[in-house]
C-alpha cells in the first residue's frame, strides 16, 4: 500500500463544528484522520492519510485463489 500524508491545524476556541466540517470535507476526498495531537492546549493538529495506489490493479496471489476456490461453495442451479 502507498499512502499520501498531510496535516491540519485547528484552533480549539473555534469549537468542534469547524473541525468536523473540515474533516468531513477531506473525508469526501479520501482522506482519513489517523492521529491527533494537542499543542499548547489551544490547537489540535490532525494528521491525515489517504491511499494512492487504489487505481493500480491488485496483485493476484495464485495460492490464495486456489485455497479460496477449495473453500467456496459450488453454485448449482436446479430446474424443477
In a domain, 29, yes or no: yes
* Within-domain flag for 10: yes
Q: What is the pLDDT along the chain (80 residues), one digit of tens a residue?
A: 899 999 999 999 999 999 999 999 999 999 999 999 999 999 999 999 999 987 766 667 788 888 888 888 766 555 55
What is the DSSP code (8-state) at residue 30? T
Segments forming the whole domain that contains residue 21: 3-52
Contacts of 43 (CB under 8 A, 6+ apart): 9, 10, 11, 12
Establish if 17 belongs to a structural domain: yes
Can you give the pLDDT at residue 10?
A: 97
Residue 11 lies in a domain: yes
Tell me if 39 is assigned to some domain. Answer: yes
Q: Is residue 24 part of a domain?
A: yes
pLDDT on residue 76: 58
Does any domain span residue 13? yes
Q: Is residue 80 a contact partner of residue 33, using CB atoms and an 8 Å limit?
A: no
Amino acid at each position: 500500500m502507498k499512502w499520501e500524508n498531510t496535516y491540519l491545524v485547528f484552533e480549539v476556541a473555534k469549537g468542534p463544528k469547524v473541525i468536523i466540517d473540515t474533516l468531513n470535507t477531506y473525508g469526501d476526498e479520501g482522506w482519513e484522520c489517523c492521529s491527533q495531537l494537542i499543542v499548547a492546549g489551544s490547537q489540535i493538529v490532525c494528521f491525515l492519510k489517504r491511499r494512492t495506489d487504489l487505481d493500480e490493479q491488485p496483485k493476484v496471489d495464485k495460492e490464495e485463489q486456489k485455497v479460496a476456490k477449495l473453500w467456496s461453495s459450488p453454485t448449482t442451479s436446479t430446474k424443477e
